[in-house]
Amino acid sequence: MKKLFFGGVHPRYKKKLSTQTMDFHTMIPKQVVIPMQQHIGVPCKPLVKVGEHVDCGQMIGDGEGLCVPVHASVSGTVLAIEVRPHPTLGECLAVVIENDEKNTEVKGEIPHNKEEILSAIRNAGIVGMGGAAFPGNIKALSALGKAELLIANACECEPYITADDCLLRTGAKEVLEGMMIMADLVDAGHIVLAVEDNKKEAIIKLKELQSDYPKVELKILPTRYPQGSEKQLIKALTGKEVMTGDLPISAGCLVFNVSTFAAIYQAVNGGQALTKRIVTISGEGITKPQNFIVPIGTSFKEVIEAAGGISEKTERVISGGPMMGVAQKQLSVPVVKATNSILCLLRDENGTAENPVCIRCGKCISACPMHLQPVYTHRYVEAGQLEDIRRLNVIDCLECGCCSYTCPAKLPLVESCRKGKKMLREAEKK
């Protein structure tokens, strides 16, 4: 198959684990923990008090600047406002709500012009739901009148995860509607929905809908990790490379995950805030791998129990995918807006090497989608040679994990790249 971007790997995808059952339902948690930060930027300040009653969809936190609000995902009573564990930030101030299961709901106003649409997207708390969690309204604002190409990202290139796949199988219309809203908003000339060729059922669904949305071009890409990375997807679709530090709009592109488009549709058309999302629960350690619609703030523990619990042999529980996800030390962490999956993995038999030293095979260089040289980054980080680390452009590293994945000596190459970036940041401060 033709390579549309340099590097990458073909991990075992294991997506069928979680697509055996398709009748996924909405979970009803007893309690939700809503962190005040679920986006890149400034954390929200709580807008409610302990003991107060809240409705589902009510704004409970907001802030200034690069910030989008957070909402109650159930109706009930605020039990506490305190620092709680967070799946990616370690810990974060959070509002704890006890679910009264009455499901009383508040909705936002339906917007009528572009300005109102932008503020509706903001007030619904919409962030990039593919993992990065960048505020959606700010991304859209940066692209107003400049976007030549609007891209819906349904690559979902990480193994195990099928949340976007499920969304397309069951709610492709909402995604396409969301795309049309965004295309009108930013005056995008060209609209593409990009999906990898391992999602056969979703592709069939999309093809059925194609005649209703003639402006949307369906692009079926050969499956390869990390095609869902924004830079790699833009490269695969347009041949353009977005440099580190530049926004995709510098290449005329505006990219959102398909889940984000569905959330935009619900916000603009139904006044619904982002209070729930599809989450894949999978891995060899879970009893019944499947997808759920999970209210934001539901604990990993509750999701795992709903999927039949985990086996004693589970070694890691991961928020996100196996390539870039974050290993959790406790199961009390809540699902946040960017949590597309919870994985329960057993011990990786490929994880250790007999003699963990670099044999200079160069596979990490051939696998790096950012044209980096992890073999040398690793060497210079170990030796503390700051000048050499800088020369290697380690700042470009996406931490996609291809280098570590492919390394026959099982060296911690991604970790070294992270360390290298940290060393450079610290040196700059001085």
Partner 1 sequence: MKLTVASSPHIRGNFRTNRIMLDVVFALLPALAMGIVVMGSRAFLVTCVSIVSSLVWEYLYSLVTRTRNTLKDGSALVTGLLLAMTLPASVPYWLVIIGSGFAIIVVKALCGGLGQNIFNPALSARALMMLIYPAGMVRFFVPKADGVTAATPLHHMVMPALPEETLWEMAIGRCSGSLGEISAVALLLGGAYLVYRKVISLRIPAAYLGTVAVITLIFPKAGNPLQWMGYSLFSGGLMLGAIFMATDYATSPVTPLGQILYGIGCGILTVLLRYYGLYPEGVTYAILTMNALVWILDRYTAPRRFGKQKGGAAS
Q: Which residues contact partner 1 (rule: CB under 8 A)?
A: 6, 9, 11-12, 159, 231, 241-244, 246, 310, 312, 314-318, 322-331, 343, 345, 348, 350-351, 353-355, 357-363, 365-366, 368-373, 375, 392-393, 396, 399, 401, 404-410, 412, 414-415, 418
Tell me the C-alpha distance between 91 and 95, whole Å.
13
CB of 315 to partner 1, least distance (A): 5
The residue (of 265 and 376) whose beta carbon lies closer to partner 1 is 376
- Indicate the residue type of 335: V
The residue (of 103 and 250) whose beta carbon lies closer to partner 1 is 250
CB of 422 to partner 1, least distance (A): 13
CB of 85 to partner 1, least distance (A): 12
3-class DSSP string for the chain: CCCCCCCCECCCCCHHHHHCCCCCCECCCCEEEEECCCCCCCCCEECCCCCCEECECCEEEECCCCCCCEECCCCEEEEEEEEEEECCCEEEEEEEEEECCCCCECCCCCCCCHHHHHHHHHHCCCECCCCCCCEHHHHHHHHCCCCCEEEEEECCCCCCCCHHHHHHHHHHHHHHHHHHHHHHHHCCCEEEEEEECCCHHHHHHHHHHHHHCCCEEEEEECCCECCCCHHHHHHHHHCCCCCCCCCHHHHCEEEEEHHHHHHHHHHHHHCCCCCEEEEEEECCCECCCEEEEEECCCEHHHHHHHCCCECCCCCEEEECCCCCCEEECCCCCECCCCCCEEEEECCCCCCCCCCCCCCCCCHHHHHCCCCCCHHHHHHHHHHCCHHHHHHCCHHHCCCCCHHHHHCCCCCCHHHHHHHHHHHHHHHHHC
CB of 12 to partner 1, least distance (A): 8
> What tokens appear for 183 in the block?
């295309």
CB of 281 to partner 1, least distance (A): 16
Nearest to 7 by CA among 251, 322, 359, 373: 373
Tell me the C-alpha distance between 330 and 65, whole Å.
32
The residue (of 204 and 427) whose beta carbon lies closer to partner 1 is 427
CB of 427 to partner 1, least distance (A): 17
User: Which residue's entry shows tokens 């099982």?
Assistant: 410
CB of 210 to partner 1, least distance (A): 33
CB of 285 to partner 1, least distance (A): 10
CB of 412 to partner 1, least distance (A): 6
The residue (of 5 and 261) whose beta carbon lies closer to partner 1 is 5
The residue (of 1 and 243) whose beta carbon lies closer to partner 1 is 243
The residue (of 210 and 393) whose beta carbon lies closer to partner 1 is 393
How many residues comprise the chain? 430
The residue (of 103 and 330) whose beta carbon lies closer to partner 1 is 330
CB of 7 to partner 1, least distance (A): 9
Torsion, Cα of 107, 112, 114, 117 (10° steps): 10
The residue (of 46 and 412) whose beta carbon lies closer to partner 1 is 412
The residue (of 70 and 375) whose beta carbon lies closer to partner 1 is 375
The residue (of 26 and 311) whose beta carbon lies closer to partner 1 is 311
The residue (of 194 and 372) whose beta carbon lies closer to partner 1 is 372
b/e map 366-388, b = 16+ CB within 10 Å: ebbbbebbbbbbbbbbeeeeeeb
CB of 53 to partner 1, least distance (A): 36
